[in-house]
Chain A
């Protein structure tokens, strides 16, 4: 109506602009419509008082696949309102300039950031140490740190696995020893167990960290580095996850001879959605195409 009343040239500009704006808002709204139309087949209990969080790693590429998995994260969040996201490093590939933070973090996870999801980053071998002072990563200027979860008896330990010097090793020992939390969850970049063909298990780090994790009754460890998703059979009672395909992916890059893999996927990008309720930890690995590719429950190991 308005278009017809205006002089031809002005009307054309106004109407084209309006059409463009409508088209743009429709495009922006599209993920929300998809979210409403197709719920994901999550198998998490989704209890009201449980701790809900996500884990992702090796994601900061700025490529289409990262953005598409970001959309799946938003879909999961609309059904399963997780409040935190842990990163197991390689948060930004190719540099840590302002545009990198924008294109490889703020834009792909805008929906989560807008919804108040708090990220807790750890650093990978591609990450500048400057990232530790980037506020949305919540590292408080430290390359390794610990924090208590807002719900349940859970404490997280973000470690800097490319630089396990005596200071950091003393720190982790002291923090784990003094923690009275039921769940002690370390996360870092280099996996102690991995069937990834490119890197595989990091034996020097396993040698120094695993005895501590056994001693302090750690039940689960999250890592990345190999660009695959893998859940390792319990090793000395501890379940190790490799979540290194949340942006990068090394298709088919799995060494099947390790013999310790319980489930592995090197066909599409994935991240983990996790719920802790009491002594149980439920997990769903969600892929870029919206499939739940791995799921299960882990019982907490009790200390001696």
Chain B
């Protein structure tokens, strides 16, 4: 390689290095910079679904320890099974508190998604259908049973389409402006967030 060619090659690599975003960071071998969250929403969704999956894995593990449900169960047997499952989950998650699954990043992300779904021309109608069956002030507790006799608010299809998909054991439900993560088999509140629907 001639000296002229070497200089040209070095000049080229310098141009490439300058144009690369990482090259704009000051060279600091001791503290690598936090990666930029290029698609923050996708990351929030991923983290959230992972936490729900962990919950579902626990649910299934605990359910497997219960006596198998009879092939033709009576209403009383179903009730005992659901209660026993709820008790086991409650014991295993005795330290769980509001916000453990629906953490701050997730809450912000879900609010944005719900807001987007309700922002269209059908938004007022969807809000109406959500609030129609709102039971008013109801005390909710993480690990508590879904309150007996309180109807399930409808979840508009476009809101569900905007939220991360959940495993079949867990559902989203609104209760007024609250969003609940509901364990449908144990009838248990996994977590909930306030002001999920913004004005």
B115 contacts across to A, CB distance below 8 A: none
Q: Which residue of B lies closest to A198 (CB)?
A: B132
Query: Which A57-103 residues have C-beta < 8 A from chain B?
Result: 93-98, 100-102
Contacts A130-B82, A202-B129, A204-B125; A162 near B154 (Cβ below 8 A): yes
Which of B52-60, B90-98, B156-164 lies at the interface with chain A? B156-164
Instruction: State which size class the interface on B falls in.
Output: 20 to 34
Docked pose: A204 CA to B187 CA in angstroms: 27
Number of interface residues of A (CB under 8 A): 34
Q: Which residue of A lies closest to B132 (CB)?
A: A199
Docked pose: A128 CA to B165 CA in angstroms: 21
Docked pose: A5 CA to B171 CA in angstroms: 70
Q: Name B residues whose Cβ lies closer than 8 Å to a Cβ of A.
A: 69, 72-76, 78-79, 82, 122, 125-126, 129, 132-133, 146, 148-149, 151-158, 160-161, 165, 171, 184-185, 187
Interface residue A166 (Cβ < 8 Å from any Cβ of B) = yes
Query: Which A188-205 residues have C-beta < 8 A from chain B?
Result: 190, 199, 202-205
Inter-chain pairs besides A134-B75, A165-B155, A202-B129, 13 sampled, C-beta below 8 Å? A102-B75, A130-B78, A130-B82, A130-B187, A134-B78, A135-B72, A162-B152, A163-B155, A164-B155, A164-B160, A165-B165, A169-B157, A203-B122
B149 contacts across to A, CB distance below 8 A: 93-95
Q: Name A residues whose Cβ lies closer than 8 Å to a Cβ of B.
A: 93-98, 100-102, 125-130, 133-135, 161-167, 169, 190, 199, 202-205, 207-208
Interface pair B157/A205, CB less than 8 Å apart: yes
Contacts A163-B155, A204-B156, A204-B157; A125 near B133 (Cβ below 8 A): yes
Docked pose: A161 CA to B157 CA in angstroms: 9
Interface pair B184/A129, CB less than 8 Å apart: yes
Interface pair A190/B154, CB less than 8 Å apart: yes
A127 contacts across to B, CB distance below 8 A: 152
